[in-house]
């Protein structure tokens, strides 16, 4: 990562303009051409320096129901259970944790009532209890990390 990549990352953490030519606006702010900005963002994505570049949406305001869920999976079955859990289209992402509840995942549905149906189906297919941890409160911390 060079100085220009750092500038791009730091600038874009503050938001991205909503206008006809957002890349042009940002490139002018950074003293770059629009083509150079886009190429650098693509290069950072391709190299893995950035894992994603895109908007963050408030899913609930768009009508999506979400919950965090977890399983206590025997280590020897972890990959097999992960495959089952990941086979559900409602599972947004799934990751291992060093905890008694060692598999955590997000369930997203178009209807809050469907979450319990998905949990029940996962329990039936894995023969493990799913620990549902719905969000009670949400806090915006505005985390920005300087590159």
Domain ranges of the chain: 3-47, 59-133
pLDDT beyond 70 at 8? yes
pLDDT of residue 59: 66
Question: pTM for this structure?
Answer: 0.65
pLDDT of residue 13: 86
Nearest to 116 by CA among 54, 69, 61: 69
pLDDT of residue 63: 66
pLDDT of residue 74: 95
What average pLDDT does range 48-66 have in this prediction?
Answer: 78
The CATH topology of domain 59-133 is Alpha-Beta Plaits (3.30.70)
């Amino acid at each position: 990562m060079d100085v220009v990549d750092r500038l791009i990352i730091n600038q874009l953490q503050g938001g991205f303009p909503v206008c006809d030519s957002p890349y042009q606006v940002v490139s002018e702010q950074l003293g770059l051409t629009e083509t150079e900005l886009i190429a650098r963002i693509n290069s950072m994505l391709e190299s893995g320096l950035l894992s994603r570049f895109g908007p963050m949406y408030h899913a609930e305001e768009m009508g999506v129901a979400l919950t965090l869920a977890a399983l206590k999976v025997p280590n020897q079955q972890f990959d097999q259970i992960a495959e089952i859990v990941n086979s559900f289209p409602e599972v947004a992402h799934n990751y291992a944790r060093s905890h008694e509840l060692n598999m955590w995942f997000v369930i997203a549905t178009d209807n809050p009532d469907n979450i319990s149906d998905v949990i029940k189906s996962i329990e039936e297919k894995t023969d493990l209890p799913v620990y549902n941890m719905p969000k009670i409160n949400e806090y915006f911390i505005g985390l920005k990390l300087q590159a």
